[in-house]
Chains A and B, each alone.
Chain A
Amino acid sequence: MKPNTKDNIIDSIKKAECRPRWHFVLRNGIFWFFGVVTTLVGGVAIATSIFVMVNRETLPLKMVSGQSTAFLAIVPYIWIGLVVLFVTLGEISLRHTDKGYKYSLVKVLLAHVGVSLVLGLAFFAVKIGYHADQVASKTIPSYRAVAQQEIYNWFDPEAGFLVGAIIDRGGDQEFVLQDPEAKVWQVVLIANHKPSQRTTLNVDRVRMVGYVQGDNVFHACRIAPFVLRGGPKEVAFRHKEDMRRLKQVARIQTERMDEYLRTNGCDLAKETSVISN
């Protein structure tokens, strides 16, 4: 180095000031903070993905889109996208911390995904997935919460799906149900219901597959409790204004439904004759 270069450096240093220690502590702290926050948010997105997947029933979707593609409709693409986004952001933040570069990307990524999954399961267990789903439905206009979506899918008596609250348990084979539009139905259990299906009558909200007989009688071939795993015990029916029939439900393939009813011992002609006898 030429002598004047060194002199220039010393002169510049005399005029310069060292950055304070807190500047570096803060910078490192900000990366840690974002790393932790994005990991937590990623955990919430995983919890919500789990919540969506375990609570979406594919049966009505199979009647619309067929057996092989129905599962595609329950994949929570938005939430999975958010998981990828936040895990990536967390990864970037953590790699920018003081010692973040020392660890291999694959190891840190696997550890990060592992921590996010554990957090996601824990958040799901304490119903954070459900609450995130609810918040999203209230804040994002086009987003429909799982409960709303399931009510949509399962509330089409003419197509063979009915959902509602039991208001009178009645006898062993029948009960009275109120649907989300407050219409009262007389539900008759037909076919060979397994004991486990009968026990569902202990819950207040149920969803059924069957067919309408007359004005307000529904013959149920299959009955299942309408509860949200990782959510509240009772699904609230408070979206009457949202109860307009979905186009996709209207497109339910009647031949698919007939086949389903037959294979579940609910042959319409046979059942009609049993009832009339």
Chain B
Amino acid sequence: MLASATDKELVQLSLIEKEAFGYIVDRYEAKLSRYIRRITRATEEDVADILQEVFIKAFVNLRGFDTSLPFSSWIYRITYNEVVSRHRKIVRRPEGNRQEFEDNDLSHLADSFSVEEEHDQSFTKEAISSLLDGLDIKYRQAIVLFYLEEKSYDEISDIMKKPPGTVATLLHRAKKKLKKLAQEHPALAYET
């Protein structure tokens, strides 16, 4: 029964019965884990640490959750803040994982940035991954949330705590930077 409850209902239940929070963990662990990998070069250990911290912070601050927002925006915000606070430490580690792209991700990004389709897909995945690595975290965050997590401007605004207009500007700049990086990248032919 709890598996079909809405996020907000689970939040209310978790305040009464801590075990109910387990359903929230089940519901978001995969999404957040993938999101963390997409926006940062984190090792498995880092991802586990970040996730643990995110869920504990979410639980401790559960009464501060603004019910006028989607719960997903709120927990993505906590995750983003946690990633940013650990970002410097993580980027210094060259042994960190590149984010793993699925075919679906690639087609989203390829459509958005006109990457030629005839490239070998696994090679292009690596190239796109490397392009995203070249972006500042705030730009990468905007690109990942919009194109890969498929969040709306309003949701991204709530996650990044920036006005929707600023989100649009961030995305525009991120795309410009990404296109520029793509033009300079030897493995990618970019159509202007």
The residue from B15, B26, B62, B163 contacting A103, defined by CB atoms under 8 A apart: B163
User: Contact between B60 and A23 (Cβ–Cβ < 8 Å)?
Assistant: no
**Contacts A1-B33, A5-B48, A19-B61; A101 near B157 (Cβ below 8 A):** yes
**Contacts A8-B52, A16-B56, A18-B15; A102 near B25 (Cβ below 8 A):** no
Count residues of chain A with CB under 8 A from any CB of chain B.
25
Q: Which residues of A contact B55 (CB under 8 A)?
A: 9, 12-13
Interface membership of B21, Cβ < 8 A? yes
Closest to B19 in A: A10
Interface membership of A20, Cβ < 8 A? yes
User: Contact between A104 and B166 (Cβ–Cβ < 8 Å)?
Assistant: yes
Closest to A102 in B: B163
Interface membership of A238, Cβ < 8 A? no
Q: Which of chain B's residues 143-166 have a Cβ closer than 8 Å to chain A? A: 157, 161-166
- Range, interface on chain B: 20 to 34
Q: Which residues of B contact A10 (CB under 8 A)?
A: 19, 21-22, 25
Interface secondary structure of B, over-half rule: helix
Interface secondary structure of A, over-half rule: helix
The residue from B33, B52, B161 contacting A101, defined by CB atoms under 8 A apart: B161
Closest to B165 in A: A104
**Contacts A9-B25, A19-B61, A24-B64; A14 near B18 (Cβ below 8 A):** yes
Flag A102-129 by CB within 8 Å of B: 1 or 0 each.
1111000000000000000000000000
Interface membership of A183, Cβ < 8 A? no
Flag A2-46 by CB within 8 Å of B: 1 or 0 each.
100110111011101111110110010000000000000000000
The residue from A2, A6, A13 contacting B56, defined by CB atoms under 8 A apart: A13
The residue from B30, B59, B161, B163 contacting A18, defined by CB atoms under 8 A apart: B59
Cα(A6)–Cα(B55), bound, Å = 10
The residue from B18, B48, B165, B166 contacting A1, defined by CB atoms under 8 A apart: B48
Task: Report the minimal beta-carbon distance from B153 to chain A, rounded to whole angstroms.
Answer: 11
A-binding residues in B (CB < 8 A): 15, 18-19, 21-22, 25-26, 29-30, 33, 47-48, 51-52, 55-56, 59-64, 66, 157, 161-166
